[in-house]
């Protein structure tokens, strides 16, 4: 379990940020020993717009970099709502509530967790493979319609390939998100777009790799060694390259940095279009 393109972007972009360790800030409430989604609140002191990020632990790892980059390049109110181990069905109620605030941009990232009660079959077994991808597609399509039909820009984020997840559907889910974007192109071009953040941490075919060549702005402080940098966790699901699972990675986390920066770039583009 993860504890955590019509328009958009493809390929890696450079950043001027140092990429060192950042504290992980999760805008969630801990209720009865379990994470629960909080509800966004309107803030009239942020005329630069509102951007909400919904996601699992991959977004949780990347959210400090996402928020940092958007703070550097926009004046928007940025609200990360990321909960490890969740899927789109986990966030439906929170999204319905948040939609009443008419955010300018929402980013939806869920890679393929299947341990949630809402991702089980009639017999109570976790969905896997195409059945899991179909559930994700139905949930995300409804959530996109909720926001996009009222004028909110939506950014969908598929992948990255995570062979460490038991659901085995990460790439099928990414394909489903792209289909939703394509469908919306015929309704309102640019209202819904795809962020290929997975392309910054996977191989040329979007398959899992643990290391990639260092980017021009990645040096020893970011984890670059002998021209290569570790972008994925040993568990083959998360980003943090240290053994174990951490809410705050104890070493530089270049995969999360790349992923979060790319999400921010596409969200900023959507905000400004």
Selected residue with higher pLDDT from 172 and 205:
172
81, 40 Cβ separation under 8 angstroms: yes
Name the residue with tokens 């953040």: 197
Beta strands 28-31; 34-37: pairing state: antiparallel
What pLDDT is stored for residue 43 in this prediction? Answer: 59
Distance CA 242, CA 249 (A): 7
Model confidence band, residue 41 (pLDDT cutoffs 50, 70, 90): low
Taking only the tens place, the pLDDT of each residue in 179-194 is 999 999 999 999 999 9
Taking only the tens place, the pLDDT of each residue in 122-154 is 999 999 999 999 999 999 999 999 999 999 999
Is the pLDDT at 13 greater than 60? The verdict is no
Question: Model pTM?
Answer: 0.86
Selected residue with higher pLDDT from 228 and 17:
228
Model confidence band, residue 1 (pLDDT cutoffs 50, 70, 90): low
66, 264 Cβ separation under 8 angstroms: yes
Taking only the tens place, the pLDDT of each residue in 206-220 is 999 999 999 999 999
Distance CA 199, CA 181 (A): 17
Looking at the domain that runs over 8-12+46-272, which CATH code has it been given? 3.40.50.1110
Is the pLDDT at 261 greater than 90? The verdict is yes
**Entry field: residues in the chain:** 273
Q: What are the boundaries of each domain within the chain?
A: 8-12+46-272
H-state helical runs in the chain: 57-73, 92-99, 129-148, 170-185, 254-272
CA atoms within 13 A on the CB side of 21: 10
Distance CA 153, CA 151 (A): 6
Distance CA 257, CA 187 (A): 33
């Amino acid at each position: 379990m993860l504890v955590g393109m019509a328009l958009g972007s493809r390929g890696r972009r450079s950043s001027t940020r140092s990429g060192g360790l950042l504290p992980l800030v999760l805008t969630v409430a801990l209720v009865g020993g379990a994470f629960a989604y909080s509800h966004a609140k309107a803030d009239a002191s942020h005329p630069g717009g509102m951007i909400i990020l919904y996601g699992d632990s991959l977004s949780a790892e990347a959210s400090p970099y996402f928020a940092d980059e958007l703070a550097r390049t926009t004046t928007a109110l940025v609200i990360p709502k990321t909960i490890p181990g969740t899927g789109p069905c986990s966030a439906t109620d929170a999204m319905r509530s948040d939609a009443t605030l008419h955010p300018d941009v929402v980013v939806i990232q869920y890679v393929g967790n299947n341990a949630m009660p809402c991702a089980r079959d009639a017999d109570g077994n976790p969905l896997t493979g195409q059945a899991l991808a179909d559930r994700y597609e139905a949930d995300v399509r409804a959530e996109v319609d909720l926001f996009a039909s009222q004028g909110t820009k939506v950014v969908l984020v598929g992948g990255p390939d995570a062979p460490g997840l038991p659901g085995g559907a990460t790439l099928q889910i990414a394909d489903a998100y792209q289909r939703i974007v394509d469908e919306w192109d015929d309704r309102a071009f640019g209202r819904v777009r795809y962020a290929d953040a997975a392309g910054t941490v996977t191989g040329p075919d979007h398959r899992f790799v643990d290391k990639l060549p260092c980017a021009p702005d990645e040096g020893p402080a970011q984890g670059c060694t002998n021209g290569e940098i570790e972008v994925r966790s040993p568990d083959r699901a998360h980003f943090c390259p240290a053994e174990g699972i951490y809410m705050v990675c104890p070493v530089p986390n270049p995969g999360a940095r790349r992923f979060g920066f790319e999400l921010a770039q596409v969200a900023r583009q959507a905000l400004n279009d």
